[in-house]
């Protein structure tokens, strides 16, 4: 029982290292080139240029890795708490879109319905939360 838990967490730690390290390093390089200096919302949902990296990371490879990049960006003061909430709200509903969809398509689900439904729900929810002005900084 404990052995399983340790083996599974070791495996996830390895994956985390392999994914988080390249991301945080590329993040520092992009910042060095001044790519994240715009603080104005870049996206209609209130997400800035700096927030796009954790958002896309999360959508493509998952919430765990996306959260890692968000923690990094918050520490760096490049992302406001309110924006971090919006990103996490989006990612809660819609993350790891390839992996999560494919494992269900293999056993016979309709993948197009899954992807579209999750993306639409996430966009609508995040946009509403942004417009409602929840969590002002």
Partner 1 sequence: MEIQGPLKRGLLSGLSITFMMVKVIVPCYIAIEIIKHFGLIDIIGRVCKPFMSVFGLPGEAALCLVAGYFINLYAAIAVLTPLGLHTKDITVVALMLGICHSLTLETPITKKTGANAWLLLLVRVALSLFSGVVLNLLWK
Positions in the binding site for partner 1 (CB under 8 A): 1-2, 4-6, 8-9, 12-13, 16-17, 20-21, 23-29, 31-33, 63-64, 67-68, 70-72, 74-75, 81, 84-85, 88-89, 92-94, 100-101, 103-104, 107-110, 113-114, 117-118, 121, 125
Q: What gap in Å lies between CA 94 and CA 43, rounded to an integer?
A: 17
Three-class secondary structure assignment of the chain: CHHHHHHHHHHHHHHHHHHHHHHHHHHHHHHHCCCCCCCCCCCCCCCCHHHHHHHHHHHHHCHHHHHHHHHHHHHCCCCCHHHHHHHHHHHHHCCCHHHHHHHHHHCCCCHHHHHHHHHHHHHHHHHHHHHCCCCCC
CB of 109 to partner 1, least distance (A): 4
CB nearer partner 1, residue 4 or residue 136 = 4
User: Considering the complex, what minimum distance in angstroms separates the CB of residue 78 from partner 1?
Assistant: 12
Distance in Å, CB of 70 to partner 1, minimum: 5
Please report how close the Cβ of residue 32 comes to partner 1 at its closest, in angstroms: 5
């Amino acid at each position: 029982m404990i052995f399983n838990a340790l083996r599974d967490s070791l495996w996830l730690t390895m994956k985390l290292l392999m994914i988080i390290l390249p991301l945080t390093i590329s993040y520092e390089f992009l910042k060095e080139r001044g790519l994240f200096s715009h603080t104005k919302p870049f996206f209609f949902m209130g997400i800035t240029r700096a927030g796009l990296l954790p958002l896309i990371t999360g959508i493509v490879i998952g919430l765990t890795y996306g959260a890692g990049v968000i923690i990094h960006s918050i520490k760096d003061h490049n992302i406001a708490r309110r924006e971090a909430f919006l990103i996490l709200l989006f990612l809660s509903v819609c993350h790891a879109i390839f992996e999560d969809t494919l494992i269900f398509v293999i056993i016979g689900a309709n993948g197009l319905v899954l992807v579209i439904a999750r993306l639409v729900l996430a966009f609508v929810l995040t946009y509403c939360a942004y417009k409602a002005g929840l969590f002002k900084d």
